[in-house]
Structure 1
Amino acid sequence: MTSTITPSDVDLREALKSLKSTNPTLGIPKIHALLLQTHPEWLVSEKRTRKFLQSEGLVLSTEPAVLKTPYPSSRVIRDLDVQKWSTKVEVKYFNKNKGKGLVAKEEIAEGEVIWREDPFVVAPEWEIYDLQASSAACSYCTTPFTSSISTSLVTNCPSGSSECPARFCNRLCQARSAKHHPLLCPAQNPASVPLLKWARESEWLALHALAQLTSRLILANQLDASGKLLEEDWRVYSSLAQMSLEDRAKYCFGQSEEEAKNQPGWKKAYDLYIQAFRNPASSAEQKKLAKLYKKSLRADIETELFDYHGFLRGLGRMSLNLEAHGGLYTLHSHLNHCCVPNVSVRHIDQRNALSRITVVAKRDIEPGEELLVTYVNPNNGVVARRQELQEWGFGQCMCERCVKEAKALPKDEGKSSDATGKTDEIGALDMTDLEKELKAGFGVM
């Protein structure tokens, strides 16, 4: 294709910022080459590229601390057996910024089920959580108790105490719940009650998910003397894409380092978290926790879970990886974003395994092609979609759809229109209110 279009200063600046944010170590010549590769229709000299990079402070030689903005990081899960979910996909590591993803190993037809997956842990939507708390939904698979579930199969919490409202679809769900339920059971570990109560009151889905995951890791250490189960679970946890809430507050919402360190809500959550799993308030609660917690965790795991900064990283992991309905899934967590996804994630087994997801192809997928979902509401306009992605440090989305919609935006300063033709003040999208910022990460918005 012949380069015939000279991009405007605004378009060039946006493109260079995006390329530099995803390739922070590349010099000017390589960024320029990448720019022309990304936009083959553009006519841009290297001199102009250099000028814009220097004006934006994006040149390594003139500003050593270039692009301090952190990017969500992840790692490949060692020895992950993908075939227990699907023979049609495989894990691929792309680069430091993008991390891992899933690509097709063979042709996948539109509408084809690619895999089904039960959650590693689940912190269900609050409507379902309330059903669980009132003994009206399974505390393991989250399925509400309806006429389709035989009441003769429903079982109670193994503690046998009326203090715990947990009920299960059947003995299988009850048995599987041993991986996480005991440490969050009000009868077996009453120290967990204030934490879960506050998570519910604040509608903080990520906090509830982190509690579920912490419980699973601690109990894995108790249930398997060999340590193999804990090692497997820890590999899953530590591989998840993560960005600390502290980094998010500083770099994505523009708070000062002091403001980011002193969030009262985070401090309270941390105190309740430590109270639930480490230092119960009363001696009676301490004795109950000691019955469940007889074997110490490895020092590195202990630090990552219970150090304050590790706690914030854990919350970041939950917020980044939770599926829309509150589940955390091992293989699903590998999926990367696109504003025009080629797969969809559905909850099809609503009568017997509500938390199970089914991943379905939205169109034909070729071998070697990456499987992609959308992290944001695809019905939003380009400004809203890009804003939401940038709030988690993903940089400006430069997918084909975003680039096309951005070019169609009106040039009115301070305004931009969404994909439906509505016009919104860009200022209205700025989430400066802390409560709104937090909810965006908690899974509420």
Structure 2
Amino acid sequence: MTSGDETKDLDQKFEVISINDSNEEDNSQEPVVPHERQIVDDVIAIWKTDPETEELSAGKLHGIVKKRHPNWSVSEKRVKTLLKKFGLLNTDQQITYANDITSEETPDIDLPANLRIIMSAKRGKGLYAKKPIKKGELLWEEPQLFFVPPLENAELIKLGKACSYCGKLLAQSNKVAGASVLRGLDCNVCPEIWCSQKCKKIDNQLHGLLKHNVYNPHASRKNKAINSEAYLDLQNYCIKEQWNALFALAIIYANIVTDKTGVKGKQFRAMARVSQAVRYKALNSSAGAFDSLQGGALFVQEQQESLWQEGYKKFLAVFPQAYEEGKITYDEFLHLMGTYNINNLDYSIYLIQSHLNHNCSPNTSVETSTISRADTLAVYAARDIRAGEELTTTYVNPAHTVQQRQRELRVNWGFVCGCQKCKDDKKDQNKRKSSSASNKDKNDIRKMLAETKDSLDGDSIELDVPEEHHGERRKSVRFDEKVQVSTSN
């Protein structure tokens, strides 16, 4: 058979089809039946572009979708069915989990003299002012309880191009051949380097235990608190999956198991605590598109479970004693991960700061260093604070719309915010909507009057005066270029 005959024969056996998983079909006039994921993703894109559209009905959203994709063959009923299927109808009860979050009294915490911790059923643990505090006053400074370097710099850290502890990018110079300005700050076992003596002193011991176990190389793997080979495998897995929470949790637990006092572990477990599986339910009820997962969660729930299971196996491999003694069950692993996710600030964990509850208009300003992430955190009074008033921070960007803020807070921290700023922002939005509707009505009237005038060849109409007007001055309407309505009671 010739080459041409082979091609012809193959053409008869196979049909080339295109999968509707892109927007390329929008350039064609051919009707297209979109996949359910395309429809849901498009609705989410509409919400992201204009958060106020989250309040629209399924019918109006269907109209916007059709306008954006004229060649899509999709009915209003299908749009509504899909929104209901994935918990996206604004009438649906979206999942919150604030009641599933638990916490305990924090042991061995050294609070500033003018602050105290109060636990309540409604707010959980919170910080309160013992006495009046002036705007701009420094409330406290604190180092990280657990410092976690940025995962995105992990590859550079392995290559000695970023600090092994803080992750700061390093600028090396070879003014002297074969010599580095960082002489004395490099590891004598692996290629990693520290940016300063301070970072090396803090990190040196844990670095060895996590990266190459140089302090106890002959101990049996079973008796080691940390298996460095397993840690490096976990780190590579986290880099591949871009899984910051597992990466951070391994570092946090390494700090806990090497803390001879046992205080760090107790303090971490006393923080606001919830299972990551519970948090995922809230994420799933928002179609998964408003989280760092960028939309994947809604359609990959089974993959998510598989990811957790694999992460759990790798975590246990790093800590053999925890595995042998059954200290970390799968449920506990998910709770540790949830604890990290709702308490971390810029990847790291702070002890006192973790007690600050949320308000979209907070009375404190939390400032981290712009020079080094490893530096201490400082908290200032953003305004005058009364004695007995709770200190608050904001978990989200206050400049975002009320819908964006409430969505992020519900998914990431499990509650629907009812602060005064949220109430005021909703009132302002309703006023703008009302004003917009009123302007539309006026424009419709003007258009009608103009069309009527044209149909009468520019003539005017005077309305008869009603015989009885009950003391009310008549309303005069003249069909002209402008409409003037005069009323008086």
* 2:267 pairs with 1:236: yes
Q: Does the 8 Å CA contact 2:105/2:270 hold for their aligned counterparts? A: yes
* 2:155 pairs with 1:155: no
Q: Does the 8 Å CA contact 2:150/2:167 hold for their aligned counterparts? A: no
Q: Does the 8 Å CA contact 2:282/2:414 hold for their aligned counterparts? A: no
Q: Does the 8 Å CA contact 1:153/1:169 hold for their aligned counterparts? A: no
SS of 2:340's partner is helix
Q: Does the 8 Å CA contact 1:138/1:167 hold for their aligned counterparts? A: yes
2:142 aligned to 112, 117, 129, which one?
Answer: 117
Offset at residue 264 of structure 1 (A): 1.6
- Distance in 1 (CA, whole Å) between partners of 2:430 and 2:411 is 23
- Distance in 1 (CA, whole Å) between partners of 2:151 and 2:304 is 27
Offset at residue 397 of structure 1 (A): 0.7
Q: Does the 8 Å CA contact 2:397/2:405 hold for their aligned counterparts? A: yes
Aligned to 2:405: 385
- Distance in 2 (CA, whole Å) between partners of 1:198 and 1:103 is 42
Aligned to 2:199: 173
Larger Rg: 2
Offset at residue 393 of structure 1 (A): 5.3
RMSD over aligned Cα atoms:
3.7
SS of 1:270's partner is helix
- The one-letter amino acid of 2:335's match is R
SS of 1:201's partner is helix
* 2:255 pairs with 1:216: yes
* 2:143 pairs with 1:90: no
Q: How many residues align?
A: 312
Offset at residue 196 of structure 1 (A): 1.0
Offset at residue 206 of structure 1 (A): 1.5
Aligned to 1:346: 367
Aligned to 1:78: 107
Q: Does the 8 Å CA contact 1:252/1:393 hold for their aligned counterparts? A: no
Q: Does the 8 Å CA contact 1:141/1:355 hold for their aligned counterparts? A: no
Q: Does the 8 Å CA contact 1:186/1:193 hold for their aligned counterparts? A: no
- Distance in 2 (CA, whole Å) between partners of 1:136 and 1:155 is 12
Q: Does the 8 Å CA contact 1:154/1:169 hold for their aligned counterparts? A: no
Q: Does the 8 Å CA contact 2:275/2:335 hold for their aligned counterparts? A: yes
Q: Which digits, 9 at most, give the CA deviation of each residue in 1:294-323, with x for residues without a partner?
A: xx5699xx645x211111111101110110
- Distance in 2 (CA, whole Å) between partners of 1:135 and 1:178 is 15
2:276 aligned to 245, 267, 274, which one?
Answer: 245
Q: Which digits, 9 at most, give the CA deviation of each residue in 1:4-25, with x for residues without a partner?
A: xxxxxxxxxxxxxxxxxxxxxx
How does the TM-score come out when normalised to structure 2?
0.56
- The one-letter amino acid of 2:394's match is T
Q: Does the 8 Å CA contact 1:145/1:169 hold for their aligned counterparts? A: no
Aligned-pair identity (%): 27
- Distance in 2 (CA, whole Å) between partners of 1:243 and 1:131 is 33
Offset at residue 115 of structure 1 (A): 1.6
Offset at residue 331 of structure 1 (A): 1.0
- Distance in 2 (CA, whole Å) between partners of 1:151 and 1:368 is 53
Aligned to 1:51: none
* 2:229 pairs with 1:190: yes
Q: Does the 8 Å CA contact 1:244/1:314 hold for their aligned counterparts? A: yes
Offset at residue 76 of structure 1 (A): 1.7
Q: 1:107 to 1:407 in 2, by over 3 A?
A: same
More deviation in 208-217 or 128-137?
Answer: 128-137
Q: 1:114 to 1:259 in 2, by over 3 A?
A: same
- Distance in 1 (CA, whole Å) between partners of 2:186 and 2:429 is 57
Q: Which digits, 9 at most, give the CA deviation of each residue in 1:129-169, with x for residues without a partner?
A: 4553343443334455469xx94675233xx20x3514251
* 2:365 pairs with 1:336: no
Q: 1:218 to 1:275 in 2, by over 3 A?
A: same
Structure 2 matches for 1:135-154, cutoff 5 A?
135-145=160-170, 151=181
How does the TM-score come out when normalised to structure 1?
0.61
Gaps of 5+ in 2: 1-91, 173-179, 215-227, 286-296, 437-489
Q: Does the 8 Å CA contact 2:97/2:279 hold for their aligned counterparts? A: no
Q: Does the 8 Å CA contact 1:143/1:355 hold for their aligned counterparts? A: no
Offset at residue 110 of structure 1 (A): 2.1
Q: Does the 8 Å CA contact 1:337/1:375 hold for their aligned counterparts? A: yes
Q: 1:385 to 1:69 in 2, by over 3 A?
A: closer
Aligned to 1:266: 308
Offset at residue 233 of structure 1 (A): 1.2
Q: Which digits, 9 at most, give the CA deviation of each residue in 1:221-241, with x for residues without a partner?
A: xxx3xxxx11x1121111111
Offset at residue 203 of structure 1 (A): 2.3
* 2:348 pairs with 1:317: no
* 2:158 pairs with 1:133: yes
Offset at residue 202 of structure 1 (A): 2.4
- The one-letter amino acid of 1:248's match is R
SS of 1:328's partner is coil
Offset at residue 362 of structure 1 (A): 1.6
Q: 1:169 to 1:68 in 2, by over 3 A?
A: closer
* 2:385 pairs with 1:365: yes
Q: 1:411 to 1:73 in 2, by over 3 A?
A: farther
Q: Does the 8 Å CA contact 2:342/2:413 hold for their aligned counterparts? A: no
Aligned to 1:45: none
* 2:406 pairs with 1:375: no
Q: 1:152 to 1:68 in 2, by over 3 A?
A: closer
Gaps of 5+ in 1: 1-55, 58-66, 279-295, 418-445
SS of 2:118's partner is strand
Aligned to 2:243: 204
